[in-house]
Amino acid sequence: MANISRKTLYNRKDLMTRVKEAQSLHKDKINPQLKPNKSTIQQERLLALRKETLKLNEEMKMLLEQNVHLTRKVMDLERRLERIFEQQQPKVVSRHSTV
């Protein structure tokens, strides 16, 4: 430290700022990537979860609409099948004999 006493460093603010700047640069050189705050990470996770929730809700709406369409189609086909079945049944004709 260039033979400067601590007392001199603390008394001269210009030297102290240079020392702090050098320490900061040294720390940045050792660890160039800053760790994000926990709150930032949580916010990113919440945003991702909200986007995923919106996507899943849209998919659910689409599936429900498809379900409604398919249910109507099944009901229509069941009605048609019942009509065809009724038409194919032989009709029983009863004759009353008059004596």
- For residue 34, the 8-state DSSP code is P
- For residue 33, the 8-state DSSP code is S
| Within-domain flag for 94 | no
| Within-domain flag for 12 | yes
Enumerate residues 6+ apart whose C-beta is below 8 A from 10: 16
| Within-domain flag for 98 | no
pLDDT in the model for residue 73: 98
pLDDT beneath 50, residues of the chain:
1
pLDDT in the model for residue 92: 60
Domain count, the chain: 1
pLDDT in the model for residue 41: 86
The residue range of the domain holding 65 is 7-32+39-87
7, containing H or E segment:
helix 6-11
pLDDT in the model for residue 88: 86
